[in-house]
Amino acid sequence: MKKALLIITTCLLAAGCSSNQVECLYNCKPTYPNHNGNINGGNINTGNVNNEQAMQALLAYLGVQVKKQWGDDEFLQAGKHRYVKYFDGYRTRAHIDFDNGKIYVSTVAQYAPEATLKKAIEETLLMPADPSQVDLFSDKSIPLNGKPFLLGQVKDHDNQDIQWPWRAGRFADYLIENKLHTKPLKRGTAYYVEIDMVSDHLEQREYQYADLIKRASRQYGISEDLIYAVVKTESSFNPFAVSHAGAYGLMQVIPKTAGADVFKLVKNKPGIPTKDYLFDPANNIDTGTAYLHILQTRYLRDVRNPTTKHYSMISAYNSGTGGVLSTFDSDRQRAMDKLNQLQPNQAYWALTNKHPKLEARRYLEKVLNFQKEFQSL
């Protein structure tokens, strides 16, 4: 582990490491120095590398490149509810705020900024729905093939869907001519446009995954409304979602924990899922739902009341079974006994007021509220 991080740290300091080399920690077996200082075939892979630290390394590399162009104050990176993609030597970026329904496309390029901005607008509007085609950790261009992810979530100035390059180009021209803004920065000027998403953009994204959620629900015996509620809480139906903890995709699956459990206990597969595997919406929803199944039927099988078990498995999806049980006692068996002595409303109160992690307290409440919304549809 220390050797793997040493490679990244040295690479970043020397500014000679590419994003592909950094990403190698997830999906390949790079070489590293042995105890004699020689280079040999390494065994570094996703299973041996701390996922959170590897993600931090990727973000650190991205930060170095972006801050060279934008400065420290303007650094922005992708998150659970936010899509951020850089282009053109990290001088141009697209930012989708899924919670507020806003798209911002900006550039700090000082040569032909309008042409640069137009290309970035087109790539953003037409980016494919397949997250594997979009490298969030580099400035690579996006291949414009397949159905656009934002189709139906954005309308052009004629209130039409944007599916084809000619319409995206025409809308980009309109935005640059009529909606172009500038902002002075320490290192120059930023040029940007702001695009409003349609009012039901969240529902438009929900529809994209309805079949996948229905399939997972039937396979693992988890209600559709719960899966929908978890996806909405975790990512706002953003398939490009990432977190500092090294979680990926719609249900924010962490490879070394939930992913590893699903591979071992459900799929009977060795190792843990890769980043690319979990960015695939079908794999992500399948893995996240399978983990809910594991929580329900294995880790929390001794919780007797079905409503209490429901509360516990939602909380455990966020914080782990250990976090749930530690709410009631430091000893796991005593904790289970105490949990089974409580009424569901008492267990809910404890998990939303006494759980060791504040995020977990809020998480249970959010998911249950969203679940009620989906039950009423």
Q: Which of 294, 299, 344, 297 is nearest to 324 (CA)?
A: 299
Q: Which residues pair with 188 in a beta bridge?
A: 185
Query: For residue 344, which of 322, 375, 314 has the smallest C-alpha distance?
Result: 314
* Dihedral, 221, 222, 223, 224 alpha carbons, nearest 10: -110
| CA–CA gap between residue 124 and residue 295 (Å, rounded) | 38
Signed CA dihedral, 127, 130, 136, 137: sign only: negative
Contact 197, 103 (CB under 8 A): yes
3 state SS of 253? strand
What φ, ψ does residue 85 adopt, rounded to 5°? Answer: -135, 130
Distance CA 237, CA 206 (A): 6
Asked whether 262 and 216 are in contact (CB, 8 A), the reply is no
Note if 234 is an active site residue.
Answer: yes
| 3-class SS of residue 84 | strand
Q: From 59, 62, 61, 58, select the one nearest 25 (Cα to Cα).
A: 58
Tell me if 314 sits within 8 A of 363, measured CB to CB: yes
Which residue is associated with the tokens 């015996």? 221
Contact of 139 with 129, CB cutoff 8 Å: no
Tokens 């995020």 appear where? 359
The catalytic position among 234, 359, 365, 373 is 234
Length of the chain: 377
Query: Exposed, middle or buried by CB within 10 Å (0-12, 13-18, 19+), for 73?
Result: exposed
List the structure tokens of 88: 């053109």
Tally Cβ neighbours within 10 Å of residue 2.
6
Q: Is 49 helix (H, G, I), strand (E, B) or coil?
A: coil
CB 227 within 8 A of CB 237: no
- Active-site residues, by number, are 234
